[in-house]
Every structure is written in structure tokens, then in C-alpha cells.
Amino acid sequence: MHKLLERIPLYLNYFLLKVDEHSLQAPYAFSFYTGIIKNKNFTPIEKIENERLKLLKSQGEIAYQTFGIPSKLSKTSRSKISKIARSGISSLKKSLLLASIISELKPKTILELGTSLGINTCYLAETLAEGDIFTFEGNKDLIMYATDLFDKLNYQNIKLIEGNIDQTLTSVISKVSSIDLVFIDANHHSKSVLKYFDLLVGKAHSDSVFVFDDIRWSKDMYQAWLKIIQSADVSCSFDLGDIGIVTFEKNLSKQNYIADF
């Protein structure tokens, strides 16, 4: 209840301030927004959505351990798969947004912080023509479900990194030459999110895109978002309500938008 009360004014602020493409005058922002964020060319992938439906109906239970702020899923030691599928994995709309980014920008190295049951990872793998996806998860039971899913759908471009992200991320970052796309949907604590950003931004380049989920999950999380968009490395940002996108185009003056999604 406390988190819900925190979110209400944050979302009211969003709905009062959001704009559409007609208010985006800068060519880069207009192109990114209309060509990627509002791109409607992507449709649900049947084989992945069939697996999502099975998870939504599953009566199985797992031990649910979180490494950050406890969520509504971690108040008990066990949680139903169906509950995690409803609340703990990315929505179809967000997965299609990431697919649009991949299709347009052709990234080669993708990092996903927070695998969960693996549905969103499958959308990344399905869309990525060439390259690798490094997806991070600390919960052993979730890893088991996700690994089985990847094998079942025969995705060969996914590298699942097991363990606490705070302990595994640095090693992976040190082994890649650059990072093209990041999706952060893990620890919802500002200190951790800012730490991840600081680690990742060193491998960002002009065409890199970082996507942050649940930016209005709490006041603390939203403050992290506000700090990130003020970073000297960030050139353009899109606040889409519960998801935020930052880019690093070197030849832009800073542009921050609160936009319809």
C-alpha cells in the first residue's frame, strides 16, 4: 500500500506532462519516437505468447528470492509461477518496444538485467539477427524455468548469467568491447540502479540505448531516473510512464521528453 501511494503522484505528473509526436520538434527525437517507440510493425510472436499463457495458468510454485528491495512477490518464501507471470515479467507492449529498437538499430551486444521466467528474453533473441544476449538472474528456480524455455524454443544466442547481478555484472562488462542495448529490470533500488548505470555507461557509444523498467515503482526509483537523465553522458531521454529510455548521440544538446506510450 505504501508503494502504491508513492506512485499515484508520480503517475499523475506523467499524465499531466506527457506529449505526443506533434510536440517533438527536434529531428533526432522525432525520428526515434515515431520510428521506434511508436512503431506498430511488430506483432506478438505466437510461440512465445503460447508459453506466456502456459505460465499464466501454471499452478507450480518456486522459492522466490530477491536481491534488492522486497516486492509483493517476495513476502512469502514461495510464489506461484502464475503470479510471477502476471507481475514479474515484462508486458507484451514492452517486449515489442525492445523488438522495435533491435530491428531499427541492429545491436550486436545486448544485456538484460533480470531474466525472470525468460519471456522477454525470448523476444530479444527472436528479433536479434546477429550477436549475443547476456541475461542476468539470481534465482535458481527462475533460471531453471528460463533455461528450459530457451532450449524448447531453440534460442542459441542467449547467455544466461547466474548469480547476484552486483557480483556478476562487472565480469561480463569487462569482456565485451561495447554495449549496444541494455534493459534494466532487476533491483528496484536507486543505489543499485545508479551503480549499474555507472558500470554500463563506460561501454556505451553513440548508438547505444539503455532502457529502464519501472521508473515510477517508487519515489526512490524515480529519483534514480532523474539522476540518470541529467548525466553528462546522456544526450536524449524518453520518459514513457513506467519505462524510460536514454540514448547517447554525441552531436546533440541534451533533450529530455515525457511522452505518450
- Closest alpha carbon to 226 in 14, 34, 80: 14
Q: Please, which residues bridge with residue 119 across strands? A: none
- Residue range 8-34: mean pLDDT, rounded: 93
Which superfamily, per CATH, for 2-45+90-258? Vaccinia Virus protein VP39 (3.40.50.150)
Q: Tens digit of pLDDT for each residue in 132-145?
A: 999 999 999 999 99
How far is it, in rounded angstroms, from Cα 196 to Cα 210? 11
Predicted confidence at residue 22, as pLDDT, reads 86
Domain boundaries, the chain: 2-45+90-258
Predicted confidence at residue 87, as pLDDT, reads 86
C-alpha dihedral (167, 162, 138, 59), degrees to nearest 10: 180
The region of weakest confidence among 61-75, 84-98, 233-247 is: 61-75
pLDDT band at 72 (very low <50, low <70, confident <90, very high): very low
- Residue range 220-238: mean pLDDT, rounded: 97
pLDDT band at 187 (very low <50, low <70, confident <90, very high): confident
- Residue range 146-162: mean pLDDT, rounded: 97
Contact in structure between 140 and 162 (CB atoms under 8 Å):
yes
Q: Which amino acid is at 185?
A: D
Instruction: Give the 3-state secondary structure of residue 61.
Output: strand
Please, what is the average pLDDT of the chain? 92
Predicted confidence at residue 255, as pLDDT, reads 94
- Residue range 214-220: mean pLDDT, rounded: 95
- Residue range 180-184: mean pLDDT, rounded: 98
pLDDT band at 2 (very low <50, low <70, confident <90, very high): low
- Residue range 68-80: mean pLDDT, rounded: 57
Statement: the pTM of the whole predicted model exceeds 0.85: yes
Q: What is the DSSP letter of 259?
A: B
Q: Tens digit of pLDDT for each residue in 101-140?
A: 999 999 999 999 999 999 999 999 999 999 999 999 999 9
**In terms of DSSP bridges, do strands 109-113 and 181-184 run parallel, antiparallel, or are they unpaired?**
parallel
Predicted confidence at residue 75, as pLDDT, reads 47
Residue 161 clears pLDDT 60, i.e. is over it: yes
How far CA 176 is from CA of 21, 52, 57, 193, in Å, comes to: 35, 31, 38, 20
Residue 43 clears pLDDT 70, i.e. is over it: yes
Residue 64 clears pLDDT 90, i.e. is over it: no
How far is it, in rounded angstroms, from Cα 169 to Cα 51? 28
